[in-house]
């Protein structure tokens, strides 16, 4: 079994826990696994096993930080809940690092599933997004994190913005719609006409959800590229025990298979020749680059400096063969009639 | 003389009409329960105004929002509960008695946050009455699950919310909610349960297997405005009675419930906008191009 197959199994199990896990651990917030998960596990889904850390951050910015500043209270006291959430987030993040994106996040899993469906339907897959487009898109996740997770909620707490902007990111997050729909609940796929703010955000959220679905059929991980959780995880990526490392060889310059394999189109994995730690800001630690690296030990996934998965030519050959076989099977190929020798005669 | 006759006729008609209306107004259930029901409500809910979480007043023209109050300060009213003892249960199942004067009382400052239960009990002859209400309180974080508090036997005959609306969630009209009827901690099936709202709705159901009873909270708000914060909550209460040996038991569970947000949220439009997103994504992703190529081939 290759690394991608193992990852798929982990993703399926994680999806089950994040979307339906309340049956295992409990219904109430206090029952949840951490309430500060570094993955988009949505609290609007009442059957979730855990909450994404962006939810408490937004509420704490509004109700604790913003209100404390507005009331001229003790800011340190107002920051304590945020620090507790950050501490919990960091404990989890240190253990699995950015693998929360590539292995745990239910929205990431859903986009990969859509990509598989697109490929099986025979839709033309974009092997990689244009470099200029990738570079233009990269800052968006930081803007989303800054404005929607921190800035607007603080403005709400200060009284300068509508109370409906306590959790502005949640209002547009596709995971909110996906995880509730996965439980048969259609309450989140709505246009909220209560006021212009809710209407605008709900329209944008619904549109983004549809856009993400259609794009994911042909483009790898479209939403992950602008996800604020990716930015959040990128901020602390040096603290994670799991890292992607590179021992560049002279063959690297001509190869570039790692960059082609990367679902986030991180070309720097290929071009970086000096740095050992190549866990770049967009990396989700999925390990595909290591799988498709043909040179021994050039790329490695290391856990606390111990290599846990390394590139090798034997693995590369097997993996490439498996990939070709997988890509060959499409709906169109299944429909093609097999030519019988009798028919020829 | 003629005037006196007319007056007598009018009086008789009015008396007959009142009698008829009275008969209509009294439901069979009400006839069966002559004793007034003891229940715990929010004072404002019965006093004309309504109160939202955090002590914000709504429903009055020109009313200014009150500052958010944390911890203590929630006022409750014990209706028809003269002589009852009232206990305040914490999430760790510790409890303390609350002094009630004239039915109105304040919930004491809690040590921790999350759901707490207010339990009123009274015995009058062979009748034992209980009223329960769950209130979300602010405070230091509690590590106890509200499921423990809900499942704990707080009084002999009890309606357990299964579950209590999750933290920051609430009872909503048009949604189905489950409750479990318990007697001395064990589920009780085959017993009628009545749901009544402060807006005048009345629904009856019978507890089934494992004491489970389900209600869709009626969407009975007479006037609905756009947005949840513009619609004050109303009160609902569930009532059941049971006789065991020579004792009659009555229990009430009360809570606030809110307008169905479906009044200002359109699912049809939501699907339509997501459809537009799909089209845009298909265009950007080049699905159309790909299909055209496929057709040519």
The pLDDT assigned to B36 comes to 83
Q: A208 contacts in B (CB within 8 Å)?
A: 277
Tens of pLDDT along B238-248?
A: 999 999 999 99
Domain span at B277: 268-292
Domain shared by A96 and A30, yes or no: yes
Q: Of A201, A232, A263, which closes a domain?
A: A232
Residue A118: inside a domain, yes or no?
yes
Q: Show the CA angle centred on residue B212, arms to residues B210 and B218, nearest 5°.
A: 175
DSSP H stretches of helix in A186-301: 196-216, 228-235, 252-255, 257-261, 268-271, 288-291
Residue A79 to residue A82: CA distance in whole angstroms: 5
Indicate whether B32 pLDDT > 50. Answer: no
The pLDDT assigned to A255 comes to 94
Domain shared by A269 and A195, yes or no: no
CB spacing of A29 vs B266 below 8 angstroms: no
Residue A121: inside a domain, yes or no?
yes
Domain shared by B246 and B272, yes or no: no
| Domains in chain A, number | 2
Which residues, including other chains, have CB under 8 Å from residue B32's CB and lie 6 or more apart?
none
CB spacing of B281 vs A212 below 8 angstroms: yes
Say whether residue A114 is in contact with chain B using an 8 A CB cutoff: no
Say whether residue A187 is in contact with chain B using an 8 A CB cutoff: yes
Domain shared by A223 and A272, yes or no: no
Q: A191 contacts in B (CB within 8 Å)?
A: 265-266, 269-270, 273
Domain shared by B167 and B199, yes or no: yes
Domain shared by A107 and A50, yes or no: yes
Domain shared by B92 and B195, yes or no: yes
Out of A40-49, A166-175, B18-27, B147-156, pick the least confident.
B18-27
Domain shared by A144 and A222, yes or no: yes
Residue B16: inside a domain, yes or no?
no
Quote the minimal CA–CA distance from B251 to chain A in Å. Answer: 25
Which one of B114, B138, B265 makes the best mutation probe of the A interface by having the most chain A beta carbons within 10 Å? B265
C-alpha pair distances (Å), A216 with each of A222, A223, A229, A285, B89: 6, 8, 18, 19, 50
CB spacing of B279 vs A26 below 8 angstroms: no
Q: A332 contacts in B (CB within 8 Å)?
A: 294
Which residues, including other chains, have CB under 8 Å from residue B265's CB and lie 6 or more apart?
A187, A190, A191, A192, A193, A194, A202
Q: Of A192, A209, A232, which closes a domain?
A: A232
Residue A344: inside a domain, yes or no?
no
Reported confidence tier of residue B101, pLDDT bands at 50, 70, 90 = confident
Query: What percent of chain A is modeled with pLDDT above 70?
Result: 97
Domain shared by B173 and B272, yes or no: no
Closest chain A residue to B163, measured at CA: A27
Quote the minimal CA–CA distance from B212 to chain A in Å. Answer: 18
Residue A236 to residue A279: CA distance in whole angstroms: 11
| Domains in chain B, number | 2
Domain span at A308: 241-328
Residue B7: inside a domain, yes or no?
no
Residue B101 to residue A220: CA distance in whole angstroms: 66
Domain shared by A226 and A246, yes or no: no
Residue A122: inside a domain, yes or no?
yes
**DSSP category for residue B220:** -
Tens of pLDDT along A229-249?
A: 999 999 999 999 999 999 999
A-B contacts at Cβ under 8 angstroms: 135
Domain shared by A194 and A257, yes or no: no
Closest chain A residue to B278, measured at CA: A210
Tens of pLDDT along B75-84?
A: 999 999 999 9
Domain shared by B204 and B275, yes or no: no
For residues A154 and A65, is the Cβ–Cβ distance under 8 A? yes
Residue A29 to residue A43: CA distance in whole angstroms: 9
Domain shared by B186 and B274, yes or no: no
C-alpha pair distances (Å), B28 with each of A279, B33, B63, B67, B124: 72, 9, 41, 45, 23
Domain shared by B190 and B66, yes or no: yes
Of B58 and B164, the structure prediction assigns the larger pLDDT to B164
Closest to B110 in 3D by CA, of B130, B85, B135? B135
Identify the CATH number of the domain in which residue B252 sits: 2.60.40.10
Residue B20: inside a domain, yes or no?
no
Domain shared by A193 and A306, yes or no: no
Residue A36: inside a domain, yes or no?
yes
Domain shared by A284 and A200, yes or no: no
Residue A334: inside a domain, yes or no?
no
Reported confidence tier of residue A146, pLDDT bands at 50, 70, 90 = very high
Domain shared by A84 and A139, yes or no: yes
Domain shared by A253 and A228, yes or no: no
Q: Of A232, A264, A280, which closes a domain?
A: A232
Say whether residue A72 is in contact with chain B using an 8 A CB cutoff: no
Out of A38-52, A124-138, A261-275, pick the least confident.
A124-138
Domain shared by A162 and A29, yes or no: yes
CB spacing of B277 vs A28 below 8 angstroms: no
Residue A343: inside a domain, yes or no?
no
Closest chain B residue to A81, measured at CA: B141
Residue B177 to residue B173: CA distance in whole angstroms: 10
Residue B176: inside a domain, yes or no?
yes
């Amino acid at each position: 079994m290759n690394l991608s197959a193992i990852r798929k199994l982990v993703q399926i199990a994680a999806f089950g826990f994040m979307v339906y896990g309340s049956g295992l651990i409990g219904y109430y917030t206090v029952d949840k696994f951490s309430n500060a998960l570094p993955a988009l596990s949505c609290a609007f889904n009442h059957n979730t096993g855990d909450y994404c850390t962006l939810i408490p951050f937004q509420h704490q910015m509004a109700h604790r930080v913003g209100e404390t500043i507005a009331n001229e209270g003790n800011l340190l006291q107002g920051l304590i809940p945020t620090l507790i959430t950050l501490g919990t987030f960091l404990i989890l993040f240190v253990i699995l690092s950015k693998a929360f994106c590539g292995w745990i996040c239910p929205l990431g899993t859903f986009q990969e599933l859509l990509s598989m469906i697109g490929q099986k339907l025979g839709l033309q897959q974009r092997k990689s997004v244009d470099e200029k487009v990738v570079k233009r898109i990269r800052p968006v996740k930081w803007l989303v994190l800054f404005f929607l997770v921190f800035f607007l909620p603080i403005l709400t707490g200060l009284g300068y913005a509508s109370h409906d902007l306590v959790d502005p990111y949640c209002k547009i997050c596709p995971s909110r719609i996906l995880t509730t729909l996965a439980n048969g609940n259609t309450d989140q796929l709505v246009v909220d006409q209560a006021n212009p703010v809710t209407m605008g955000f709900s329209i944008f959220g619904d549109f983004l959800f549809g856009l993400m679905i259609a794009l994911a059929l042909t483009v790898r991980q479209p939403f992950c590229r602008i996800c604020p959780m990716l930015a959040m995880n990128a901020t602390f990526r040096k603290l994670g025990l799991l890292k992607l490392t590179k021992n560049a060889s002279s063959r690297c310059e001509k190869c570039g298979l790692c960059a082609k394999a990367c679902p986030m189109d991180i070309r720097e994995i290929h071009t970086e020749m000096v740095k050992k730690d190549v866990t770049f800001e967009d990396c989700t630690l999925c390990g595909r680059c290591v799988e498709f690296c043909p040179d021994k030990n050039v790329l490695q996934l290391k856990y606390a400096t111990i290599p846990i998965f390394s590139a090798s030519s034997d693995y590369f050959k097997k993996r490439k063969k498996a990939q070709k076989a997988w890509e060959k099977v499409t709906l169109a190929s299944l429909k093609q009639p097999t030519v019988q020798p009798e028919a020829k005669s | 003389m003629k005037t006196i006759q007319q007056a007598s006729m009018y009086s008789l008609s009015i008396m007959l009409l009142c009698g008829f209306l009275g008969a209509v107004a009294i439901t069979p259930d009400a006839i069966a329960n002559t004793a007034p029901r003891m229940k715990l409500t929010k004072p404002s809910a019965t006093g004309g105004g309504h109160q939202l979480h955090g002590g914000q007043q709504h429903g009055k023209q020109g009313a200014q929002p009150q500052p958010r109050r944390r911890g203590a300060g929630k006022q409750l009213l014990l209706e028809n509960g003269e002589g009852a003892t009232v206990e305040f249960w914490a999430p760790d199942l510790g409890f303390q008695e609350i002094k009630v004067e004239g039915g109105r009382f304040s919930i004491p400052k809690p040590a921790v946050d999350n759901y707490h239960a207010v339990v009123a009990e009274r015995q009058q002859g062979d009748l034992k009455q209980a009223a329960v209400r769950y209130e979300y309180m602010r405070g230091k974080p509690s590590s106890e699950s509200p499921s423990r508090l809900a499942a704990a036997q707080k009084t002999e005959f009890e309606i357990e919310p299964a579950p209590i609306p999750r933290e920051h969630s609430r009872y909503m009209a048009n949604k189905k909610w489950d409750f479990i009827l318990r007697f001395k901690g064990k589920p009780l099936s085959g017993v009628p349960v009545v749901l009544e709202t402060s807006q005048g709705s009345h629904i009856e159901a019978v507890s089934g297997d494992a004491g489970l009873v389900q209600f869709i909270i009626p969407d009975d708000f007479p006037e609905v405005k756009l947005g949840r914060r513009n619609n004050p909550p109303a009160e609902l209460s569930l009532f059941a009675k049971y006789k065991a040996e020579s004792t009659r038991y009555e229990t009430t569970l009360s809570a606030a419930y809110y307008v169905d947000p479906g009044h200002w949220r359109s699912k049809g439009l939501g699907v339509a906008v997501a459809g537009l997103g799909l089209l845009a994504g298909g265009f950007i992703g080049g699905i159309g191009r790909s299909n055209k190529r496929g057709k040519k081939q």
